A = this chain, B = another copy of it.
Amino acid sequence: MPYPSQVNRDDIIAQAWQLIEADGADNLSLNKLAAALGVKAPSLYRHVANKAALLQAVNENTSLRLIEALQTAAAQTSGSPSEQVAALLHAYRHFAHEHPHSYLLAFTNTDEALRPDAALLEQMVLPIQTLMTAVSGPEQSLAALRGAMALVHGFVLLELHGQLRRGGDLAVDFATAVQAYLRGWEAVP
């Protein structure tokens, strides 16, 4: 059999995701990707328009997985709204730690063309938004949500980029900071 491989678009994206997980997006070339699929690079172009389209699809995949993780966490958590927000933010951080390279590619990208669909991102924050509004009240709920997202996103990125170097238990410090933030919204004048 001359051409034993036969790939499809989903295979390609799944494999790209795996290679990015392992090595980071900067080290993904179409050559490597094709080789991992038992195929040559030009073959990929039958299934994907170009590299940007491929990476965008990978990022949508990442977003979907994060949405799933957050929804699962939301379904499993209970307690006060603050406790539930905290649980979701922990799930968010956990996801970023499990998939650092994919997370960075999806959410720290300057290039517009690679970004996941806007509706997907709205869907992603939805469970956090609902619970956060229950904590902050409706008037300033957008600011409250943005602060919460900034806090997780920022904390995770400081960790991933090796900028939290003074030791200590980062998970504990994260929980402590989140609690302070939520307490501040509960104590809103």
Contact = CB atoms under 8 A, between A and B. Distances in A.
Interface of A: 24, 104, 107-110, 112, 115, 118, 121, 136, 140, 142-144, 146-147, 149-155, 157-158, 160-166, 168, 170, 172-174, 176-185, 187-188
Number of this chain's copies in the assembly equals 2
A158 B146 contact: yes
Contacts of A143: 168, 172-173, 176-177
Name A's interface SS: helix
Contact of A146 (B144, B153, B177): B177
Contacts of A150: 150-152, 154-155, 158, 177
B118 A161 contact: no
4 A-B pairs with least C-beta separation: A154-B154, A147-B177, A184-B184, A180-B184
7 contacts: A121-B163, A142-B173, A144-B180, A146-B173, A147-B181, A153-B158, A179-B184
A110 B159 CA distance: 11
Q: Which of A115, A136, A151, A168 has the most CB of B within 10 A?
A: A151
A136 B41 CA distance: 56
B161 A109 contact: yes
Contact of A154 (B152, B179, B185): B152
Query: Which of A121, A136, A147, A162: most chain B CB closer than 10 A?
Result: A147
A138 to B, nearest CB: 14
A187 B187 CA distance: 8
